[in-house]
Amino acid sequence: MDEQLELLRRVAGHLGVTSTVNAVTVGRTYMKYRASKVRGRAWQMERNLLRPFILRHWRTRCEAITAATWIEHRRQRKRDRTRTGRPPCDLTLNLELKRAKQMFRSAKLAPFADVKPVKTRSRRGSWFTADQIDRLYAHADDLRWRHQQVTFRALVAVMADSGLRISEALSLRWDRITLQGTTSVLGKGSKTRVVAFTPRALTALARIDRHKNSPRVFLNWRTYKPYNPSTVRAWFRQAIEAAHLEGAKADGDFALVPHILRHSFASIADERGAPASWIQQAMGHSHASTTAVYLHRSEADAALRMAAIMGERKPPKKSSSRKKDLVNADRSRVVSLS
C-alpha cells in the first residue's frame, strides 16, 4: 500500500499536479462532518448552506484555507444568482460562514476564527393589516392548481391567525388537533406551546384532503411528502403580486416573505388590545424584548400619541418684559386699524 502511495506521489509530481492522497482537504473534512450528522430536514438546510463553499474548495487543503479565502469566496458569491435572480443577501452569507466554522471545528481546525459576520438588519419592518391579509387570502385563487390554492389559503389563515412560523405550520398533524380547535407545536429550542385556531383557519384546514397513510396536514398531492418552505415562498410571491401588496414592504426589507404573517399576527393582536404577555405566550418567546420586535402597531400608536400631544401643546411662558412688548405691539396695531 505504501509503495502505491509513493508511486502516486511521484506521478503527481512528474505531472505537476499537487498530490492530495494523504492531504486533509476540504472535501474530506466535509465527508467526515456529513457522516456525523443525522439525515433529515435540519441536515438538508445545513447542507445547502455548505454547498457553495464546498464545491468551490473541494480539493483545497485545509492548511491552505485562511481568512482571505473566505473574503474571496464571499466576493465571488456576490456575483452568483439564486433562484429569485438576485445574489444571496448578507444574512445568508453569514449563515454560510457559521456552518463552515462548525464544519472545521468538528475537525479541530479554525481557519475562520478571525472572520466576523457582516452586520445586517436585525429586524423586519414590514407587516400586513387585517384588510391586507384578507386580500392575500382571497388571491389564493390566482395560483394555478386547486391543491395549491387550498393549501396556501390554509397556511395563510393558520400563520396569520395563530402566529406560527412556517416550519411549525408545515409540521401540523391531524391527530394532534383537538375538537376544541387547539394543538401543540414544537418551536425553537424544543419548546412546546399550545395554539388555538380561529374559525377561518379551521374552515380552511377542513378543505384539505387527508391522506390515509400520513397524519401530516400539509402534504404534496403527488409525492405525499411534506412541502418544502421554498415552495411556499414561491406561492407567497405569486399571491403578493396578484394582490398588489408590494407597497407593504418597509424600507430596508429585502422582500416580503411568509414570516411577515407572524409579525402581522402580533401587531394586529396588539392593536385589538391583547396583553403583551398573551402575545408572548402565543408566539413562544422566552423574553418580552423579543416579542416587542414584532409589535409594529405599538410604535405607530406611540408616534400618533406624540403627534397629538405636539399638536395641542400650549405656548411656552414668556417673560414679563416680553409680554409688555407684545401688549404695546397689539395696541399700536389696533390704533393703525382704526
Assess whether pLDDT exceeds 70 at residue 11.
Answer: no
Question: What is the per-residue pLDDT across 244-294, written as a single tens digit (0 to 9) for each?
Answer: 998 888 877 778 889 999 999 999 999 888 999 999 999 999 898 889 888
Task: Report how far apart, in Å, the C-alpha atoms of 93 and of each of 49, 81, 205, 256 are.
Answer: 8, 13, 36, 19
In this structure, what are the phi and psi dihedrals at residue 28, rounded to the nearest 5 degrees? -70, -40
pLDDT of 153 over the 90 cut: yes
Share of the chain above pLDDT 90, in %: 51
pLDDT in tens, 17-41: 554 445 689 999 999 999 999 888 7
d(CA 102, CA 112): 10
Give me the long-range contacts of 20-23 (CB less than 8 A, separation at least 24): 20/59, 20/61, 23/61
- Residue 253 CB neighbours (<10 A): 15
pLDDT at residue number 336 = 44
pLDDT in tens, 50-78: 999 999 999 999 999 999 999 999 999 99
Q: Which residue has the higher pLDDT, 151 or 298?
A: 151
Mean pLDDT value of segment 196-212: 92
pLDDT tier at 314, thresholds 50, 70, 90: low
* Separation of alpha carbons 277 and 135, rounded Å: 29
H/E segment holding residue 183? strand 182-186
Q: Please state, rounded to an integer, the average pLDDT across all residues of the chain.
A: 83
Locate 53 and state its grid cell. Answer: 463553499
Look at residue 142 and tell me whether its pLDDT is greater than 50: yes
Would you state the pLDDT for residue 16?
53
Residue-wise pLDDT for 91-109, tens only, equals 889 999 999 999 999 999 9
Domains defined along the chain, listed by start? 2-106 (no CATH), 130-300 (1.10.443.10)
Yes or no: say if 170 and 226 are a contact pair by the CB < 8 Å rule: yes
pLDDT at 174: 94
Q: Categorize the per-residue pLDDT at 295 as very low, low, confident or very high, splitting at 50, 70 and 90.
A: confident
User: For the whole model, what pTM was predicted?
Assistant: 0.66
Structure confidence at residue 171 as a pLDDT band (50, 70, 90): very high
CA angle (264, 269, 270) in 5-degree steps: 100
Residue 140 has pLDDT above 80, yes or no: yes
Q: Can you give the pLDDT at residue 317?
A: 54
Q: What pLDDT was estimated at residue 82?
A: 79
Helix (H, G, I), strand (E, B) or coil at 25: strand
Distance CA 269, CA 295 (A): 9
* Segment 114-135, tens digit of pLDDT: 999 988 765 567 889 999 999 9
pLDDT of residue 197: 95
Q: Would you name the residues annotated as active-site residues?
A: 165, 188, 259, 262, 285, 294
